[in-house]
Homo-oligomer: A and B are copies of this chain.
């Protein structure tokens, strides 16, 4: 009974495409300063060094998309049937991931101001929430009734870190924008830590074996 199922390969290919493009477009919004005639090398070396907060944001954003892709991968590795609601909430997630380059543009144009850093955190937060919803929608389709509970427990653990980190970063922005972008980076580092992901993947794999 293959009725209703959506071709998982094409679903994943489209998602992979958006993840890969959004990550690669980030750099287009990282604007380097205009040459200044009165400085040696047009002020390039100095200008590139002054962009260091943007490099942190670039790395945090690229890593966030990359890790989101890995989570997406781990989740749908275990999903055998892509339902219609999954498709809709997947589109929502992709729409927000594709929105991320604008945060780099805002930081490029307005510098490391509190509002710019809050905007960045807000997008990260919305991505985390959208992934949480997708996770919630996709989890029950994994075979076996106990799997859902296990996934739900692991979801609580995982996404809390992201949501708390982004909320903390937004709250801190008024006092220290640099602290905010460091917090965003730490969230990415947390999710890149093997142990947690191993647990997630392992819990998915156990259902297969």
- Using a CB–CB cutoff of 8 Å, the interface residues on chain A facing chain B are 2-4, 6-7, 10-14, 16-30, 32, 34-35, 41-42, 44-45, 48, 58-59, 62-63, 66, 69-70, 73, 77, 84-85, 87-88, 91, 94-95, 98-99, 101-102, 105-106, 109-110, 113-116, 119, 192, 194, 197-198, 201-202, 205, 208-209
Contacts and interface: CB of A to CB of B under 8 A. Distances in A.
Contacts of A62: 91, 94-95, 98
B26 A98 contact: yes
Given A32-B102, A63-B95, A102-B32, A194 B27 contact: no
Tell me if A's interface is mostly helix, strand, loop or mixed: helix
24 contacts: A3-B202, A4-B198, A4-B201, A7-B77, A12-B13, A13-B13, A14-B69, A17-B19, A18-B20, A18-B24, A20-B21, A21-B25, A23-B94, A26-B98, A28-B28, A28-B29, A28-B101, A34-B109, A41-B114, A42-B115, A44-B116, A48-B119, A66-B91, A88-B194
A98 B23 contact: yes
A44 B102 CA distance: 13
B110 A4 contact: no
B91 A63 contact: yes
Contact of A27 (B14, B85, B102): B102
A42 B110 contact: yes
A85 B41 CA distance: 40
Given A7-B73, A101-B28, A94 B110 contact: no
Contacts of A4: 198, 201-202, 205
Contacts of A7: 73, 77
A30 B102 contact: yes
